[in-house]
């Protein structure tokens, strides 16, 4: 049967592999992998890119996106990316990190890499908890949110303030672009793709560190259904400045 190209509404990204993803239903990682594969395919970057994976639920990302990957120890992706991009200046180098990874154990690495203005893109998946290890409180857990390690809700007296890591990164001289995105609606997906394209273009043009944060869901960690998690995320997004931050 011949298909009218005008009727095609969906293309599977060329770089997305056939492997079944291991993510829980409703997890944002899966949607973000898809748009990442889409943008890398659209920009024709397959042979010119090295991704630095991290520890967390996305640890198997190398099974899903068919590019060159290096796996970094927990939190160390920006340090590994620094070496890889300096040794391979012709390659686009990016990290893919959760909030436990980037905003907790790896705070030093991201702050110093961004402050040095390393020529990398940082993709930061902020689902407000440590997903892989069972939904513990992360530095980015908002006040009032319940997790297994703050069952009555995060409070300042016991847990301190949430760490606004992305906002801090906007203040550093080495960051050239910082954006906060989501994948909850089609409109958000389009916006997020534009931000990823911009970040990758900056890295290709050697402008310094670009950061794209995704405010994301973790249905299992939050103990919510995918619909409830999306609704909760939409509420949280209303409290945050979304879009381009720098
Ligand atoms: C050095 C080290 N400390 C602790 C761990 C245990 N650990 C594995 S994943 C993880 C949390 C990951 O959370 P996050 O980065 O937010 O990613 P998510 O799983 O939520 O996508 C932790 C603490 C580890 N693997 N290595």
> Could you tell me if the CB of 75 is within 6 A of ligand 1?
no
Q: How far is the CA of 9 from the centre of ligand 1 (A)?
A: 37
pTM: 0.96
Backbone angles phi, psi at 60, to 5 degrees: -95, 25
Closest-CA residue, ligand 1 atom 8, reads 56
Q: For residue 1, what pLDDT is reported?
A: 63
**Over the range 148-162, which residues count as b (16 or more CB within 10 Å of their CB) and which as e?**
eebeeebeeeebeeb
For residue 38, give the nearest of 197, 217, 198 by alpha carbon: 197
Q: How far is the CA of 102 from the centre of ligand 1 (A)?
A: 10
- Indicate the domain borders of the chain: 20-240
Strand partners, 178: 211
Query: What is the DSSP code (8-state) at residue 71?
Result: E
Q: For residue 48, what pLDDT is reported?
A: 98
CATH 3.40.50.970 matches 20-240: yes
pLDDT along the chain (246 residues), means of 10: 76 93 97 97 97 98 98 98 98 98 98 98 98 98 97 97 98 98 95 98 98 98 96 93 97
Q: How far is the CA of 28 from the centre of ligand 1 (A)?
A: 17
Q: For residue 23, what pLDDT is reported?
A: 98
């Amino acid at each position: 049967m011949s298909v009218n190209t005008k009727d095609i509404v969906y293309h599977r990204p060329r770089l997305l592999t056939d492997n079944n993803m291991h993510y829980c239903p409703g997890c944002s990682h899966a949607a973000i992998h898809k748009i990442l594969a889409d943008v890398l395919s659209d920009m024709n970057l397959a042979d010119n890119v090295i991704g630095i994976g991290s520890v967390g639920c996305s640890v198997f990302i190398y099974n899903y996106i068919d590019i060159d990957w290096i796996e970094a120890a927990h939190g160390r992706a920006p340090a590994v990316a620094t070496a890889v991009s300096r040794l391979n200046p012709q390659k686009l180098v990016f990290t893919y990190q959760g909030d436990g990874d980037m905003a907790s154990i790896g705070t030093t690495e991201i702050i110093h890499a961004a402050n040095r203005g390393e020529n990398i893109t940082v993709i930061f998946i902020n689902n407000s908890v440590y997903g892989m290890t069972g939904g513990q409180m992360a530095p980015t857990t908002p006040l009032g949110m319940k997790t297994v390690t703050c069952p009555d809700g995060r409070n300042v007296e016991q847990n301190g303030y949430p760490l606004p890591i992305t906002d801090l990164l906007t203040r550093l001289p080495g960051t050239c672009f910082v954006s906060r995105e989501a994948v909850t609606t089609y409109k958000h997906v389009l916006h997020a793709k534009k931000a990823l394209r911009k970040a990758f273009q900056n890295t290709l043009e050697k402008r310094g560190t670009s950061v794209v944060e995704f405010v994301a869901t973790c249905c299992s960690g939050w103990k919510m259904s995918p619909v409830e998690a999306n609704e909760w995320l939409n509420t949280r997004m209303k409290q945050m400045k979304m879009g381009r931050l720098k």
